[in-house]
Amino acid sequence: MHRAPTSCGHHCARALLWIFLSAGAAAASAAPSYTLTDLAALQPGHPNVVRGPNNQGRAGGGGRLVDDRGPRRGLIFEGGPVAQQVAGAAGSENSTIYRINDGGTFVGSANSSNGLRAFAGSTGGATRELPPLPGDTNSAAFGINNLGQATGFSSGPGGQRAVTWNAGGTPAALPAVAGASSSRGNDISTRGDVAGLVSGDAGDRPVLWPAGQAATELQLIPGDSTGEARAVNATGDAVGYTGSAGGVMRHAALWTSAGLVTSLGALPGGEFSEAFGINDSGAVVGTTSSSAGRRAFLWTRTGGIQDLNTLIPPLHVVLTKAVGINNAGAIVAVGHAAPPGQAGDDHAFHDAPLRVFLLRPVGAP
């Protein structure tokens, strides 16, 4: 990641930062495109997860809330400021919620005495286990559609396999891909398309399983050798990344339903980017490096890639990653408080709580 030069000393660095923040604040205050709601703050130093939102603006995740000394829990963010904590199935711990559909049904995974197990539940209701394939011992669910169909993986002696669960919770393996030793489903659309990845000797490869069909291996951005599809919309367009061997350098990617790839680029001064969400209109969100550090982005076909920090009011926060966007254009992003004078790069936020935000388009109800 690019860092600002430090040879001119601390005062020079602060001056450069003040110029950047002032310019960003001026652009945002001139015509903010989103209102910002603070949903929660999570403890630093833990493997925090944030996903969403559904079309009602609910998001999911996992971690420990600030000032909470209890175990790590699955979390539901519903407008804040206090997130709902959710355990996995009975007897489990360290749960994470990865997706919530528009009916309020969520899926995730948690540790149990039998291993890692996927679960499903509903807001305010009980949870139930989503079992692995027969003979396997572990499972995790990462996506669910509005029909209650879920996707993720099942693993055991035969390795890790991408699966779907029907609304009743019965698992089925997705079609195998030649040359792949493992696979995983990350997201599932209402028509049943699954976005994910397969792994083999050549590394990770992005794939799309069209509903009821064999996997389609997605194109890589020229020069890249690995990749992963993270999300898929109702028309079969998918997003994720392609990158170098091992994924050290990544480039945000958009694939059409035909499997053709478009590189979404990065903000000025940056080279690294990843896409995490796409809505049915084709708007994409993710994270990118830049000359100012890691920043959340919005990409549209008409506007290209934009720093989300320039589209919100100047509230002394820095958004570093956008994890999802719904069909109303609402975005869930994570970031940190950034008081005036505080450095804006990633290292300055290492010990700061992770803040979760909901961005709604200006004028939205």
Put simply, whether the predicted model's pTM sits higher than 0.95 gets the answer no
Distance CA 107, CA 16 (A): 44
Structure tokens at 347: 């290292």
Question: What's the confidence (pLDDT) of residue 23?
Answer: 40
Write out the DSSP string of 296-340: EEEEETTTEEEEGGGSS---SEEEEEEEEE-TT--EEEEEEE--T
Distance CA 144, CA 65 (A): 25
Query: If pLDDT is split at 50, 70 and 90, which confidence band does 340 have?
Result: low
Question: What's the confidence (pLDDT) of residue 18?
Answer: 32
Distance CA 352, CA 354 (A): 6
Query: If pLDDT is split at 50, 70 and 90, which confidence band does 1 have?
Result: very low
Question: What's the confidence (pLDDT) of residue 92?
Answer: 64
- Do residues 52 and 143 lie in contact, with contact meaning Cβ atoms separated by under 8 Å? no
Question: Which amino acid is located at 130 in the chain?
Answer: L
Phi, psi of 226 (to 5 degrees): -135, 175
Question: What's the average model confidence in pLDDT over 87-103?
Answer: 83
Distance CA 211, CA 274 (A): 25
Mean pLDDT of the chain: 86
